[in-house]
């Protein structure tokens, strides 16, 4: 469990984090989203005791990060951005070092190392120097380091950065598994990742939290929520007619058309996001004898909401 | 304590799992041989003593130790591993001391590689091994003091070259601070300017290494000199810890 209250972090005159408050419960996976430089990493660095806050209070499982920093660092497993590790060490000796520092030795150390090697699939590179490893293996070596003490709280700064799609899936599965009983904060630039693994999504922009909701709630804010996608083959003339016909429907607000040759994709926005217009659209199409290739109602688009919330209006 | 040693072990391994340690030793020894045999003509002195070796070593250390120490912290910052290190459940003091010890042990290994001189001398004549021992103690502390400066400057900047130059200048200054020649010049200038600052010059000069090295070079192990070096190293390490701590809140 992590509680952040009115956290402010300044670098000189630059305010990286401006009065952030949030709470992450045990068994919850929270994703930090935001443009580069928004303050995601800085917030994580404060929570993990790497940086000191300018003001505000942070506690991890009831331990204050300034008064009880050592305890906090025992509880947390941290994967820093771009997964740094000692390049001249082998993956094995690196994990051993971290394990020993975290107080394990003998059989216990071996079993913990075996566990994370298994989880992160590091077996093939265990005795290779980290500097010779591919980005994916480096990333997973550092992730293994964060997991070695089976931490109650995980802070992961871009955990799937540099991984191929298969490895991404593995890490996401791991986060979901872990997230059932632990507290996890992760940051990412990949929006579908938030949908895939996070219970809650915190969007940070310019050091402020601009949204703190479930991915589904966020998507509902999108103007695409409830919009109907309709693909048809029509000639130019019928296309224009179809567009105006659809726009004349009572429940429809407006219609966008994306065309490629005679293939047209209509995006039909409803007046009210809560009223389905799929029925009305289908009926109209049938009345006019349009050949529907494809039709579906959108849930909303995260990238649209993200843009809406984070692009500074000039 | 054991945490410090774990840090030391990891750090020390770095000197030998990479070419860097070997390179240093391979550069250090021939350079020392050159200085001792070519410049000072070791054999022509017809003297079974290590004086030339021990008077040369601090000069070589002026460059050698900043080079060894420059990576201590700046490398961690450059590669980002400092984020891993300082978010582990260890104190900054443990990390700093552990790192310092590793580099000191590495330097000690290079110092001990000069034992070949001692063996040769004992075969060729009968040197005063007591004096040689005192000199080894002295040189180890001088090396430690230089290293504590290098470790501090390494924490000061991400750039290793800047760290090297800074610690070289500081070490150079502190090595010659107490040199009688230097003090003489300072006093002469002060006298010319009619400034009554001779006691100040002597006081500042007493912080230089020179005055604390002569006894050891003569074979006298004076506890005051040892305490001086230990205090110097402790103060520098303390400043180092403060610096790392301050960078967290910057």
Whether the per-residue pLDDT at A314 is higher than 50: the answer is no
Whether the per-residue pLDDT at B1 is higher than 70: the answer is no
Q: State the nearest Cα–Cα gap between A71 and chain B, in angstroms.
A: 7
Is 0.90 surpassed by the pTM of this model? no
Nearest CA to B9 out of B81, B79, B70, B98 is that of: B98
Query: Taking the CB of residue A270, how many other CB atoms lie within 10 A of it?
Result: 23
Q: State the nearest Cα–Cα gap between B10 and chain A, in angstroms.
A: 7
Between A182 and A237, the more confident residue is: A182
Sheet containing A228-233: order of strands: A252-260, A263-270, A228-233, A292-297
DSSP symbol at B127: -
CA distance A248 to A129: 67
- Closest by Cβ to A80, choosing from B18, B80, B250: B80
Nearest CA to A143 out of A193, A135, A41 is that of: A135
Range of weakest confidence among A14-23, A24-33, B182-191: B182-191
Whether the per-residue pLDDT at A313 is higher than 60: the answer is no
Q: Which residue of A has its CA nearest to B247?
A: A51
**Domains in chain A, please, with CATH?**
2-219 (3.40.50.300), 228-298 (3.30.70.100)
Q: Two tokens at A142?
A: 């550092």
Q: Two tokens at A237?
A: 């003339």
Between A225 and B88, the more confident residue is: B88
**Amino acid A58: pLDDT:** 95
Cβ A52–B83 below 8 Å, yes or no? no
Buried-state track A58-84, b at ≥16 Cβ within 10 A, e below 16: bbbbebebeebbebbbbbbbbbbbbbb
Whether the per-residue pLDDT at B71 is higher than 60: the answer is yes
Q: Two tokens at A185?
A: 């904060």
Q: State the nearest Cα–Cα gap between B235 and chain A, in angstroms.
A: 24
- ipTM here: 0.87
Give the pLDDT band (50/70/90) at residue A282: confident
Q: State the nearest Cα–Cα gap between A28 and chain B, in angstroms.
A: 22
**Amino acid B151: pLDDT:** 96
Taking only the tens place, the pLDDT of each residue in A149-203 is: 999 999 999 999 888 888 888 889 989 988 889 999 999 988 888 888 999 999 9
Whether the per-residue pLDDT at B220 is higher than 90: the answer is no
Nearest CA to B68 out of B133, B7, B189, B151 is that of: B151
Mean pLDDT value across residues A90-101: 96
Greatest mean pLDDT range, B15-19, B35-39, B64-68: B64-68
CA distance B65 to B68: 5
**Amino acid A312: pLDDT:** 65
Range of weakest confidence among A104-108, A156-160, B29-33, B99-103: B29-33
Taking only the tens place, the pLDDT of each residue in B175-192 is: 888 788 888 888 888 888
Cβ B84–A82 below 8 Å, yes or no? no
The full set of domain ranges for chain B reads: 2-249
Whether the per-residue pLDDT at A14 is higher than 70: the answer is yes
Q: Which residue of A has its CA nearest to B91?
A: A70
Query: For residue A46, how many C-alpha atoms fall within 13 Å in the half-sphere facing its CB?
Result: 31
- Closest by Cβ to B86, choosing from A11, A50, A93: A50
Long-range contacts of B52-60 (CB under 8 A, 24+ apart): B53/B114, B53/B117, B54/B135, B54/B138, B54/B139, B54/B217, B55/B217, B56/B32, B57/B32, B57/B111, B57/B114, B57/B139, B58/B139, B58/B142, B58/B175, B58/B209, B58/B213, B59/B35, B60/B28, B60/B31, B60/B32, B60/B35
Question: Do residues B85 and B99 touch, judged by C-beta distance below 8 A?
Answer: no
3-state secondary structure B41-99: CCCCCCCCCCHHHHHHHHHHHHHHHHHHHCHHHHHHHHHCHHHHHHCCCCCHHHHHHHH
Contact list in A for residue B249 (CB cut-off 8 A) is 51-52, 54
Question: Do residues A103 and A151 touch, judged by C-beta distance below 8 A?
Answer: no
The chain B residues in contact with chain A (CB within 8 A) are 3, 6-7, 10, 13-14, 17-18, 79-81, 83-84, 86-91, 248-250
Size of interface A-B (CB pairs under 8 A): 69
Contact list in B for residue A98 (CB cut-off 8 A) is 84, 88
**What is the distance of C-alpha A278 from the center of its chain?**
30
Q: Token match 């209006």: residue?
A: A313
CA distance A254 to A293: 21
What does pLDDT average to over chain B? 88
């Amino acid at each position: 469990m992590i509680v952040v209250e009115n956290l402010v972090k300044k670098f000189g005159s630059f305010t990286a984090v401006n009065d952030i408050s949030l709470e992450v419960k045990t068994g919850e996976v929270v994703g930090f989203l935001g443009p580069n430089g928004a303050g995601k990493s800085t917030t994580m660095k404060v929570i993990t005791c790497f940086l000191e806050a300018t003001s505000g209070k942070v506690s991890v499982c009831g331990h204050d990060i300034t008064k009880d920093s050592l305890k906090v660092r025992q509880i947390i497993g941290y994967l820093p951005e771009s997964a740094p590790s000692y390049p001249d060490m082998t993956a094995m000796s690196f994990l051993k070092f971290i394990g020993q520092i975290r107080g394990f030795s003998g059989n216990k150390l071996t079993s913990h190392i075996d566990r994370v090697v298994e989880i992160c699939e590091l077996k093939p590179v265990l005795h290779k120097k980290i500097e010779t490893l591919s980005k994916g293996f480096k990333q997973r070596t550092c992730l293994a380091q964060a997991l070695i003490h089976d931490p109650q709280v995980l802070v992961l700064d871009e955990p799937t950065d540099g991984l191929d799609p298969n490895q991404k899936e593995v890490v996401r599965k791991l986060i979901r598994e872990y997230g059932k009983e632990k507290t996890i904060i992760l940051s990412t630039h990949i929006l579908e990742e938030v949908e895939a693994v996070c219970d809650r999504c915190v969007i940070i922009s310019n050091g402020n939290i601009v949204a703190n909701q479930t991915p589904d709630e966020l998507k509902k804010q999108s103007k695409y929520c409830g919009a109907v996608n309709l693909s048809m083959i029509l000639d130019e003339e019928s296309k224009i007619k179809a567009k105006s016909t659809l726009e004349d429907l009572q429940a429809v607000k407006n219609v966008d058309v994306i065309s490629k040759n005679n293939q047209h994709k209509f995006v039909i926005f409803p007046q009210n996001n809560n009223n389905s217009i799929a029925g009305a659209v289908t009926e109209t199409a049938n009345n006019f004898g349009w050949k529907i290739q494809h039709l579906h109602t959108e849930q909303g688009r995260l990238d649209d909401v993200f843009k809406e919330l984070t692009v500074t209006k000039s | 304590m054991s945490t410090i040693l774990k840090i030391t072990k990891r750090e020390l391994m770095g000197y030998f799992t990479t070419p860097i340690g070997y390179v240093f030793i391979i550069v250090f020894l021939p350079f020392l041989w050159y200085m001792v045999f070519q410049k000072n003509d070791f054999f022509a002195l017809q003297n079974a003593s290590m004086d030339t070796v021990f008077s040369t070593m601090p000069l070589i250390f002026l460059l050698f130790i900043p080079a060894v120490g420059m990576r201590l912290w700046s490398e961690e910052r450059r590669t980002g591993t400092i984020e891993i290190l300082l978010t582990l459940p260890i104190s900054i003091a443990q990390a700093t001391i552990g790192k310092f010890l590793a580099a000191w042990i590495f330097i000690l290994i290079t110092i001990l590689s000069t034992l070949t001189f001692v063996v040769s001398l004992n075969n060729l004549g009968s040197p005063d091994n007591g004096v040689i021992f005192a000199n080894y103690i002295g040189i180890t502390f001088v090396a430690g003091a230089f290293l504590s400066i290098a470790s501090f400057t390494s924490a000061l900047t991400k750039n290793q070259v800047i760290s090297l130059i800074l610690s070289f200048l500081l070490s150079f200054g502190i090595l010659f601070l107490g040199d009688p020649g230097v003090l003489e010049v300072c006093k002469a200038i002060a006298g010319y300017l009619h400034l009554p600052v001779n006691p100040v010059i002597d006081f500042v000069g007493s912080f230089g290494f020179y005055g604390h090295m002569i006894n050891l070079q003569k074979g006298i192990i004076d506890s005051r000199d040892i305490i001086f070096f230990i205090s110097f190293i402790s103060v520098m390490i303390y400043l180092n810890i403060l610096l790392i701590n301050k960078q967290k809140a910057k």
